[in-house]
Amino acid sequence: MKNNFIKFTAGLFYIFLLAACSEEETLPDTPILGLGGDTWTKGEIDNYITTNFTDPYNIEVKYKWDPYEINFNKNLTPVVENKVMPALDAVLKIWMNPYEKVIGKNFLRKFSPRQFVLVGSAEYNSDGTITLGQAEGGKKITLLVINNFDKKDKEEVKRMLHTIHHEFAHILHQNILYQREFKQLNPEWYTATWYNSSIAAANTQGLVTDYAKASADEDFVETISFLLVEGQAAFNEIVTANPGKAASILRQKEAMVVAYFHDAYNIDFRALQAETQKGIAEITQ
């Protein structure tokens, strides 16, 4: 018993000794290198971003290469500097301004992603497809192929803005889920190998694009993005070209999208559509 007591006190003693030792250390006051992010001499682009994105909306735009923001095992390239401001201008006019006009600045401040990451090239996947954009948990949107951006090229502008509206719609439905019935409209066509289907084939099945076949979520956001960016006329054309079941499914999707925007966010989808089209016309004029 006594022996045990000695052992116990000796044990405590060691612990105190060790503790005493560690108290002697002082923390180094050297700042940790790179803490708080990279810095560089600010230029025209940096100021543009601060004025138009960071100050009003608390959005960070990363246009300089940062391998930790992207798929680090893929061959990608950074952006060409003279493409950054035109591309961001299109983002402002075709995505942000329409939402702001229809529902107000606070909506964007609340739901917009906190970070845009710009990449010059596309990301090439092993299945032969290329990735044009990515959204991560409502926090970050990565926009690829910025180097091909040309505001005079209407198709290219639409392609990029289609990506943004697509990714932003993901954020919206991740906050408030869309109608359950949407998933039951054409579940038979959802497939991981969506890229084996052509756009025309997808249209005949009641989907706006081939990528809409990837899943119900993608279908929903593709429908939104298509209606906003390609426009109602283009949507109507698909409906007319694919009469019967496909047309009826497409019309139901359209109605659900309009209802979703109204019920979930109190947004007039038709007004949003008109503003988006106006933005595209303004940028590509």
Partner 1 sequence: MKKILRYILLLTIGAACTNKEELELEELPDARLSAALSSYQQKLVGAANGWDAYLFPKDGGGATFHFKFTDNNRVTTYADINTSTATTPMESSYRLKATQLPSLYFDTYTYLHQLADPDPEVLGGTQGAGFSSDFEFSILSASEDTIKLKGNLNGSNMTLVRAKEPNASANVAKAYATNNALQKISEFTYYYNVLTLGGKQYQFTLNPEVQSISFYYNENGFKQFTTKYAASATGLILEQPFVDGALRATEFHDINIDVAAKRITLTTSTTTGTTANVTTPLVIDPDAATRMYNAGTYYYSATGFTMAGKTDAHNLSSIPGFEGVYYYPGYGSGYDALLFLYETNNESKIYGPAFSTRLGTDGKMTFYGHVGNFGTAPPELHLTTITAVRTQFLNTNGYYVYQTGETSYDLVSVANGRNWIRFQ
Q: For partner 1, which residue of 1, 34, 110, 188 counts as binding (CB under 8 A)?
A: 34
Q: Rg (Cα) of the chain, in Å, rounded? A: 26
Q: Pick between residue 1 and residue 20 the one whose CB is nearest to partner 1.
A: 20
Q: Pick between residue 80 and residue 176 the one whose CB is nearest to partner 1.
A: 80
Q: Pick between residue 127 and residue 188 the one whose CB is nearest to partner 1.
A: 127
Number of residues that bind partner 1 (CB under 8 A): 41
Q: Is 36 one of the binding residues for partner 1 (CB under 8 A)?
A: no
d(CA 52, CA 55): 7
Helix (H) or strand (E) holding 116: strand 115-118
Task: For residue 160, give the amino acid letter.
Answer: M
Q: Which runs of consecutive H residues, i.e. helices, occur in the chain?
A: 2-23, 44-49, 55-57, 81-91, 97-103, 105-111, 154-175, 199-204, 216-225, 232-241, 245-265, 269-284
Tokens of residue 151, six digits = 């505001």
What is the x/- site pattern for partner 1, positions 73-102, by CB under 8 A? xxxxxxxxx---------------------
Closest CA to 256 of 224, 231, 214, 211: 224
Tokens of residue 13, six digits = 């003693």
How far is C-alpha 233 from the chain's CA centre? Answer: 26
- Per CB under 8 A, the segment of 120-128, 131-139, 186-194, 275-283 that binds partner 1 is 120-128
Q: What are phi and psi of 131, to 5 degrees?
A: -95, 130
Q: For partner 1, which residue of 24, 127, 181, 188 counts as binding (CB under 8 A)?
A: 24
What is the x/- site pattern for partner 1, positions 125-154, by CB under 8 A? x---------------------x-------
Q: For partner 1, which residue of 21, 137, 188, 233 counts as binding (CB under 8 A)?
A: 21
Q: Pick between residue 10 and residue 281 the one whose CB is nearest to partner 1.
A: 10
Q: Pick between residue 60 and residue 66 the one whose CB is nearest to partner 1.
A: 66
Closest CA to 45 of 82, 97, 94, 90: 82
What is the x/- site pattern for partner 1, positions 40-79, by CB under 8 A? xx-x-------------------xxxxx----xxxxxxxx
Nearest 5 degrees, angle CA 33-CA 35-CA 40? 80
Q: How far is the CB of 79 from partner 1 (least distance, A)?
A: 6
Instruction: List interacting residues with partner 1 (CB under 8 A).
Output: 10, 13-14, 17-18, 20-21, 24, 28-34, 38, 40-41, 43, 63-67, 72-81, 120-125, 147
